C-alpha cells in the first residue's frame, strides 16, 4: 500500500525558456547591449559594465539561485556575489525589474485588446490553442524576482483603483470587466508571488490560491482511490515492458498524471514501508 506525504521537493530549473515573456526580455536586453570601450577614457575612470557583468545584472531580476546564475553566466560564484553588493549593479537590477514589470502588465493589456477579436474569430479549438500559447508566455512566473513582483503589484493596484473609481462614478464599461478576467488569468498562469494586503487584488489572488488548494485536494483524493498496489512496482512493470492488464495500464497512466500534478505542489508518492 502506498500513501502521500508532503516533502520539500521543488522544481529545479536552471534556465528560462526562450519563448516566454521573461526569456524574450532577457534575450533582448543582453543582445542589444553595447559594451563601452576603454579607448578615450582616462585611466581610473569608470567605463560602465562589461557585457558579462551586464548579463549578470539582467539575470538577477529572477529568483534563480546565485550558484545557478553563476553557472548560466559562466562566471565564478565569488565574483557574482561581489557584484551583487555594488550599488550600480543593484540599480541596474532595479531598473530592469521595473521595466519587466511594465512589460508583464502591458501583456495583460494586450490580452484585453485581443480578447474580443480572438473569441469572435476563432473556433473553440483555435481559441483553446491561443490560450495555451498565452499561458506558456507566462509559465515561468514563479521565477520572477521580488522587485518585479513588488512593482507588478504596485501597477496592478493602481489599475484596479482606477476601475473601482469608474465603477463608483457609473462610468465603468465592458473593457474593465474583460481586464479583470484577463488579470486573473495572467496571475493564475504565471503563479507570480504577489502579496496584496487588501482590496480587489487580494481577493483575486486569494481566490486563485483557494482553487489551487481545492484542485490539489482533489488530486490527492483521486490518487488515494486509484492506488490498490504499490505505484513503484507498477511503474517498474511498465518500464520492463511487462504484459499489463487493461486495469494496470489505466492505473499506471492515472498514477503518472496525479504524481506529476502533485510534484508541482511539493508532494510525491512513497512506499509505506520506507517510513515504518
Among 55, 65, 147, residue whose Cα is nearest residue 100 = 147
Judgement on whether residues 184 and 261 belong to the same structural domain of the protein: no
60 in any annotated domain: yes
* Average pLDDT value for residue range 176-202: 94
Domain boundary among 195, 222, 250: 195
7 in any annotated domain: no
147 in any annotated domain: yes
Judgement on whether residues 57 and 157 belong to the same structural domain of the protein: yes
Judgement on whether residues 152 and 257 belong to the same structural domain of the protein: no
- Strand, helix or coil at 125? helix
Average pLDDT, the chain: 81
Q: Which of 147-156, 204-213, 248-257 has the highest mean pLDDT?
A: 147-156
- The Cα-based distances of 93 to 40, 57, 90, 145, 256 in angstroms read 28, 5, 5, 10, 40
User: Is 60 exceeded by the pLDDT of residue 201?
Assistant: yes
Alpha helix (H) residue ranges in 14-145: 21-32, 51-59, 66-73, 77-83, 87-121, 124-137
pLDDT given at position 37: 73
In the chain, what percentage of residues exceed pLDDT 70?
72
Of 218 and 263, the structure prediction assigns the larger pLDDT to 218
237 and 248 in contact (C-beta within 8 Å)? yes
String of DSSP letters for 222-241: HHHHH-SS-HHHHHHHHHTT
pLDDT given at position 260: 63
Q: Rg (Cα) of the chain, in Å, rounded? A: 24
Domain boundary among 141, 160, 195: 195
pTM: 0.73
Judgement on whether residues 42 and 139 belong to the same structural domain of the protein: yes
Judgement on whether residues 27 and 131 belong to the same structural domain of the protein: yes
Judgement on whether residues 176 and 59 belong to the same structural domain of the protein: yes
Judgement on whether residues 177 and 246 belong to the same structural domain of the protein: no
Q: Which residues contact 167 (CB under 8 A, 6 or more apart)?
A: 176
- Strand, helix or coil at 195? coil
Judgement on whether residues 71 and 29 belong to the same structural domain of the protein: yes
Judgement on whether residues 102 and 215 belong to the same structural domain of the protein: no
Judgement on whether residues 185 and 242 belong to the same structural domain of the protein: no
Residue range of the domain that includes 157: 21-195
Band of residue 245 on the pLDDT scale cut at 50, 70, 90: confident
Q: What is the tens place of the pLDDT at every residue in 33-76?
A: 988 876 655 555 466 889 999 999 999 999 999 999 999 899 99
Judgement on whether residues 125 and 66 belong to the same structural domain of the protein: yes
Judgement on whether residues 27 and 58 belong to the same structural domain of the protein: yes
Amino acid at each position: 500500500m502506498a500513501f502521500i506525504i508532503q516533502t520539500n521537493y521543488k522544481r529545479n530549473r536552471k534556465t528560462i525558456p526562450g519563448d516566454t515573456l521573461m526569456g524574450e526580455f532577457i534575450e533582448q536586453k543582453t543582445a542589444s547591449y553595447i559594451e563601452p570601450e576603454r579607448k578615450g577614457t582616462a585611466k581610473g575612470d569608470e567605463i560602465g559594465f562589461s557585457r558579462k557583468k551586464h548579463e549578470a545584472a539582467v539575470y538577477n531580476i529572477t529568483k534563480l539561485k546565485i550558484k545557478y546564475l553563476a553557472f548560466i553566466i559562466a562566471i565564478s560564484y565569488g565574483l557574482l556575489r561581489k557584484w551583487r553588493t555594488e550599488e550600480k549593479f543593484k540599480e541596474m537590477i532595479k531598473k530592469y525589474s521595473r521595466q519587466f514589470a511594465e512589460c508583464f502588465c502591458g501583456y495583460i493589456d494586450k490580452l484585453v485588446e485581443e480578447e474580443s477579436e480572438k473569441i469572435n474569430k476563432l473556433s473553440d479549438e483555435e481559441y483553446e490553442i491561443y490560450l495555451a500559447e498565452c499561458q506558456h508566455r507566462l509559465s515561468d512566473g514563479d521565477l520572477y524576482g521580488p522587485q518585479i513582483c513588488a512593482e507588478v503589484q504596485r501597477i496592478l493596484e493602481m489599475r484596479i483603483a482606477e476601475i473601482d473609481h469608474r465603477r463608483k462614478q457609473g462610468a465603468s464599461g465592458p473593457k474593465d470587466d474583460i481586464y479583470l478576467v484577463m488579470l486573473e488569468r495572467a496571475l493564475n498562469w504565471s503563479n507570480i508571488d504577489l502579496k496584496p494586503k487588501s482590496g480587489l487584488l487580494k481577493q483575486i489572488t486569494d481566490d486563485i490560491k483557494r482553487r489551487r488548494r481545492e484542485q490539489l485536494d482533489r488530486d490527492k483524493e483521486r490518487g488515494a482511490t486509484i492506488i490498490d498496489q504499490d505505484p513503484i512496482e507498477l511503474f517498474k512493470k511498465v518500464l520492463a515492458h511487462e504484459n499489463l492488464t487493461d486495469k494496470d495500464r489505466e492505473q499506471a497512466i492515472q498514477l503518472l498524471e496525479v504524481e506529476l500534478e502533485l510534484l508541482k505542489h511539493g508532494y510525491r508518492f512513497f512506499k509505506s514501508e520506507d517510513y515504518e
